[in-house]
Amino acid sequence: MSDTIKIGVSSCLLGERVRYDGGHKHNDYITGILGDYFSFVPVCPEVGCGLPIPREAMRLEGDPAAPRLLTRQSRIDLTAQMQAFCAAKVKELEGEDLCGFIFKKDSPSSGLFRVKVYNNGMAVKNGRGLFAAAVANNFPLLPMEEEGRLNDAPLRENFIERVFSYRRWKDFLASAPTLGKLVEFHTAHKLLMMAHSPDYYRQMGVLVAHGKELAAAELFRRYEELLMKGLTLHATAAKNTNVLQHIMGYFKKELTAEEKAELLEVISQYHSHLLPLIVPLTLLKHYVRKYDQTYLRGQIYLSPHPAQLMLRNHV
């Protein structure tokens, strides 16, 4: 995997004093934990579009599908100024090889979900900041999250897993890919995809099976779309349990009756939310090593991101 995994981040989350009031919203998890694995590309769209620090606060108004950005008191319409910045910035970001983006929540420029949009004095929380919307439109498969949602263990695990998956996919594309290499990639991602969506995994399999009928660029484009969309579907306890039982099936001959009973009990406790996913996985990985199970060793599902991030200790 490439040494550098770049993700875009709202500048104020990195501690830069760029907010309208001259402050920041430094996020310890991003700079402290994720900083060991990712390098950051900071973007503050409000400063980037030429506004000063400090500045008047602003908000979204009008149609939530196409809101306008206005200053709160002086009622200056900054929509065109912000949109000009967004158009230029997303072009620039195309050269950054980003694998994800973390946005500041609630901001009329950077908020990704449920940003307030005012209409006739009423606020409805269903908008998206103008810059976040531009990034989402220009990079529809890029993993994106808000910093507040990273406090939620399943959302955090899902986002970071997608970032690492996107990096692996981009490395694949950069490796003079062939249909044969795509079959290998697909095989290695089988259990990971099964944990997210058996249906997407099946569609990807059909695509790969008909790979010779498509031009390579079209094949890879379609595969990438299925891969990244499938991974946005959450790996639930039920789907993970199916995958864990499937892995256990590889050790039918090796395990004693007591070892099988112990493994089934641990998987059952995970399914009932009494144990985190890391527990049955650790036991299964022990057997993969002990019995040198070559096929399972190659499964990304067993180690989709660094263990030090402890993402599976909380899901």
Residue 10 sits in the site that holds ligand SF4 (CB under 6 A): yes
Separation of alpha carbons 302 and 117, rounded Å:
43
Q: How far is the CB of 254 from ligand SF4 (least distance, A)?
A: 53
Nearest to 251 by CA among 259, 243, 240: 259
Residue 46 sits in the site that holds ligand SF4 (CB under 6 A): yes
Separation of alpha carbons 268 and 272, rounded Å:
6
Integer Rg of the chain from CA: 22
Residue 93 sits in the site that holds ligand SF4 (CB under 6 A): no
Alpha-helical (H) ranges within the chain are 28, 45-48, 79-93, 130-138, 153-173, 179-188, 190-196, 198-209, 216-232, 237-248, 257-271, 278-290, 294-297
Residue 104 sits in the site that holds ligand SF4 (CB under 6 A): yes
Give 61 or 161: the residue with its C-beta nearer to ligand SF4.
61
Residue 128 sits in the site that holds ligand SF4 (CB under 6 A): no
Q: How far is the CB of 132 from ligand SF4 (least distance, A)?
A: 9
**What is the DSSP pairing of strand 122-127 with strand 115-119?**
antiparallel
Q: Which of 8, 45, 127, 304 binds ligand SF4 (CB under 6 A)?
A: 45
Residue 11 sits in the site that holds ligand SF4 (CB under 6 A): yes
Residue 109 sits in the site that holds ligand SF4 (CB under 6 A): yes
Q: How wide is the angle at C-alpha 47 spanned by C-alphas 130 and 117, nearest 5°?
A: 30
Q: How far is the CB of 98 from ligand SF4 (least distance, A)?
A: 16
CB 232 within 8 A of CB 162: yes
Residue span binding ligand SF4 (CB under 6 A) among the ranges 82-90, 107-115, 142-150, 297-305: 107-115
Q: How far is the CB of 139 from ligand SF4 (least distance, A)?
A: 17
Separation of alpha carbons 101 and 39, rounded Å:
11
Q: Which of 107, 158, 197, 241 binds ligand SF4 (CB under 6 A)?
A: 107
Size of the site for ligand SF4 (CB under 6 A): 12
Residue 116 sits in the site that holds ligand SF4 (CB under 6 A): no
Give 19 or 196: the residue with its C-beta nearer to ligand SF4.
19
Q: Which backbone phi and psi does 127 adopt, to 5 degrees?
A: -105, 180
Residue 203 sits in the site that holds ligand SF4 (CB under 6 A): no
| Packing angle of the helix pair 179-188, 198-209 (nearest 10 deg) | 160
Q: What is the DSSP letter of 22?
A: S
Residue 18 sits in the site that holds ligand SF4 (CB under 6 A): yes
Q: Which of 5, 8, 19, 315 binds ligand SF4 (CB under 6 A)?
A: 19
Taking the CA atoms of residue 109, residue 233, residue 276 and residue 184 in that order, the dihedral angle to the nearest 10 degrees is: -110
Run of H or E residues at 262: helix 257-271
Q: Which of 44, 144, 228, 311 binds ligand SF4 (CB under 6 A)?
A: 44
Q: Which of 49, 86, 110, 161 binds ligand SF4 (CB under 6 A)?
A: 110
Give 17 or 221: the residue with its C-beta nearer to ligand SF4.
17
CB 207 within 8 A of CB 219: yes
Which residue ranges make up the site for ligand SF4 (CB under 6 A)?
A: 10-12, 18-19, 44-46, 104, 107, 109-110
